[in-house]
Amino acid sequence: MTMTRRWRFLRRPLPVGLRRWSLWGVLVLLVVSMLALLVWLAGTYEAGQVQSRVERDAADAVSDIRAALTRNVQSLQALQYSEPTPKSWEIDAEAFLREHRELVRVEWRSQSLKILAYADTPFRPPVFDRMGRQNMQSEVSVACSTALKFSGPAYTSSYFLPFADGLGAEMMELCLPLQSGGKPAGYLVATYSLQEVLEGLLGRQLTSNYEISFAEGDGTRLALRGSSRRGSRVFTAQQLMDLPGAALILRMDSWRGTPDLFPNVLTALVTAISIALVSVLVLLGKDIRRRVKAEHELADALAFRKAMEDSLVTGLRARDLNGLITYVNPAFCKMVGFTTQELLGHSLPAPYWPPEFIDEYKQRQAIILAGNLPPREGFESVFMRRDGTRFPVLIIEAPLINAQGMHTGWMSAFLDISEQRRIEELSRTSQERLQATARLATVGEMASLLSHELNQPLAAISSYATGAINLLAEGGETPFELGADLQLAMHRVAEQAERAGKIIKSVQDFVRRREQVRESVAPKVLLDAIAPLINLQARKSQVRVITELEPGIAAVFCDRTMIEQVLLNLARNAMQAMDQPDILERVLTLRVSRVKGEARSQWIEFSVADLGAGIAPEVQPQLFNPFFTTKAEGMGLGLSLCRTVVEQHGGALVFTPNTPQGTVFIFTLPARTVA
């Protein structure tokens, strides 16, 4: 019973007043802590600002000194501009030294470092009177060797030079090589006083706020200028002034007092912080609600993206910049037959690469990973499934960019185009069959014409054979005359038999199905091949055939049988268009010429012109549609197949009105010189 009462007492809530004061105590503690933190941060920030300003001024000072030294080099080069004499050079050098207090001496030396002329600053006694110039010859030699090596100015390390009055200064030598006609022509040697460099090349504003000095690496001061005052805190910045052949450290020291705090400022800060704390609590609650809402939306978006990726039939693969696979979707795994665990982290060569293509694919992947492939440029390849079967794919590569805009890898999309290739093959086979059917239909229409045409050579053969038999039966002529007559008769028989054979062979070649083989063919050969078949219908329809071939025309690169079919179909259509009683002049013109105005590539133009009634305007839009025909017994495949064949060769088939009447069908083929 006692333990139960004690437990209830412990679980009893605190009084309202005590709980309220506890909250206020926590709030006051937070305010005091935040105020102390604010004061500390303000002081730290102010110190950081001062330090940044000192470092920035030090960098500016180094930049100013370096720019001034560069200008001095250019001015020294100007002393040799007009190929002066030693006397005139000394006059120009003295004028130069009056404008540049930082220089104490300028020398013109020969290639062997012998002094040809020199000038000392007018602002102080000659600096080398006590020590002599020869004591510094080694530093000058080293600087001039460095300058000659780099074909530019070079500096020596600083050295202390005592003066005759018991004082001294840090000096630094500059050696500038001279050239005449592209060959070394001596040197210009200038002596700098580091103290005068600080005095003359830096502005007074810097020296009023800073103590500026040149120092060595161990902190030894070489030259000093500026205020030596000290505050409660010293801010120091050092900048390396790297010169050709030498290096100096520019040190800047600044002083700054600790900022004061006023009571009104403190009160304002406390009030502002208190209001800020309450506002932050309110805003924090709103921010938490927004964050929770954003997390739910992000989870929904991730689930949506996962569902979308799982439903894709396109394979997706992500790789890092080293080529390691970092992501694959289910469609890609199903495509190649490997699991996600087997593919993730896999490098080159990939397990779905055919062994015979590994070297080629490695070279291509090196180009892609180097970033030399245009983005979203698709290309075809061959992959291998887990069971070893090959299948074609279309690959599209694109750079993978993260939320910060950095390139972190490559995203690839894969399309299995096996079904597309199968459909294309079926379409090609069906097209070949349609073309063969069209040729057979053409031969069927011409069967009656062939029988009429073959009657002529067969009748001639019969006549010559009967004449030969009669000559042998009579036997009245001399053996010599009889042999000549028989020889002539047999010759005529052979000619007519050859003519009949050519007619039959041309039809057989036209009908025969074969694989498409492209070759270089002269246009005249194409016209001669279809001439017997065209002449058959031309004689029946009383059409006069005119062939115009441009001299020196190049050969065309084409499938000979298919182009012969195109020419024959267009010629037959032209003759049928003129097979009307009201058309008196029936002329079929076959013309071959070069395409005019083609500067980059050469094309050959074939045209078939008739003098028929032309093509009605309502028929023109659907003239090349499959199975559309204006003939009572036509199949509507001729012109459609003709355009398909020409476009497969890279050309185009069009038609225009003829003058004075009729239609001209024009198509182009690529030209190729006959070997």
Residue 550 inside a domain? The answer is yes
Task: Say whether pLDDT at 430 is over 80.
Answer: no
Q: Are both 541 and 655 inside the same structural domain?
A: yes
- Specify the pLDDT at position 667: 93
The rounded distance, in Å, linking the Cα atoms of 453 and 107 is: 112
Q: Are both 466 and 599 inside the same structural domain?
A: no
Task: Say whether pLDDT at 545 is over 70.
Answer: yes
Task: Say whether pLDDT at 120 is over 70.
Answer: yes
User: Last residue of some domain: 362, 389, 416?
Assistant: 416
Q: Are both 139 and 228 inside the same structural domain?
A: yes
Q: Are both 628 and 498 inside the same structural domain?
A: no
- Specify the pLDDT at position 675: 39
From 174-178, 483-487, 597-601, the region with the lowest mean pLDDT: 597-601
| Strand, coil or helix: 321 | coil
More confident residue, 328 or 4: 328
Q: Are both 566 and 644 inside the same structural domain?
A: yes
DSSP E strand stretches across 385-441: 390-401, 407-416
- Specify the pLDDT at position 634: 59
How many domains does one find in the chain? 4
More confident residue, 307 or 372: 307
Q: Are both 398 and 444 inside the same structural domain?
A: no
The rounded distance, in Å, linking the Cα atoms of 363 and 186 is: 56
- Specify the pLDDT at position 609: 93
- Specify the pLDDT at position 610: 92
Task: Say whether pLDDT at 180 is over 80.
Answer: no
More confident residue, 295 or 447: 295
**Global model pTM greater than 0.95:** no
User: For residue range 247-281, what is the model confidence (pLDDT) as tens digits?
Assistant: 888 888 876 644 444 444 555 565 677 677 767 76
CATH number at residue 91: 3.30.450.20
Closest C-alpha among 645, 621, 475 to residue 559: 645
Residue 395 inside a domain? The answer is yes
The rounded distance, in Å, linking the Cα atoms of 608 and 624 is: 16
As given in the structure block, the two tokens for residue 142 are: 């080293």
Task: Say whether pLDDT at 590 is over 90.
Answer: yes
User: For residue range 331-350, what is the model confidence (pLDDT) as tens digits?
Assistant: 888 888 888 788 887 777 77
The rounded distance, in Å, linking the Cα atoms of 230 and 135 is: 40
User: Last residue of some domain: 416, 448, 473?
Assistant: 416
User: Last residue of some domain: 382, 416, 450?
Assistant: 416
Three-state secondary structure readout of 170-207: EEEEEEEEEEECCEEEEEEEEEEEHHHHHHHHCCHHHH
More confident residue, 409 or 447: 409
Q: Quick one: average pLDDT of 449-471?
A: 63
Q: Quick one: average pLDDT of 376-383?
A: 72
Q: Quick one: average pLDDT of 422-438?
A: 73
Q: Are both 136 and 154 inside the same structural domain?
A: yes
- Specify the pLDDT at position 42: 64
Number of Cβ within a 10 Å radius of residue 100: 20
Q: Are both 148 and 197 inside the same structural domain?
A: yes
Residue 8 inside a domain? The answer is no
User: For residue range 593-616, what is the model confidence (pLDDT) as tens digits?
Assistant: 988 765 445 889 999 999 888 888
The mean pLDDT of the chain is: 76
Full residue range of the structural domain in which residue 412 is found: 315-416
pLDDT band at residue 418 under the 50/70/90 scheme: confident
pLDDT above 90: percentage of residues in the chain: 5
Residue 50 inside a domain? The answer is no
Task: Say whether pLDDT at 1 is over 50.
Answer: no
Residue 583 inside a domain? The answer is yes
pLDDT band at residue 45 under the 50/70/90 scheme: low
- Tell me if 99 sits within 8 A of 79, measured CB to CB: no
Residue 386 inside a domain? The answer is yes
Q: Are both 425 and 484 inside the same structural domain?
A: yes
Backbone phi, then psi, for 462, in 5-degree steps? Answer: -60, -40
From 401-415, 492-506, 610-624, the region with the lowest mean pLDDT: 492-506
Q: Are both 167 and 74 inside the same structural domain?
A: yes
User: For residue range 48-106, what is the model confidence (pLDDT) as tens digits?
Assistant: 777 888 888 888 888 888 888 888 888 888 887 777 888 888 888 888 888 888 888 89
CATH number at residue 669: 3.30.565.10
Q: Are both 245 and 165 inside the same structural domain?
A: yes
- Specify the pLDDT at position 54: 84
More confident residue, 30 or 21: 30
The rounded distance, in Å, linking the Cα atoms of 255 and 231 is: 5
Q: Are both 509 and 559 inside the same structural domain?
A: no
Residue 265 inside a domain? The answer is no
Residue 201 inside a domain? The answer is yes
pLDDT above 70: percentage of residues in the chain: 73
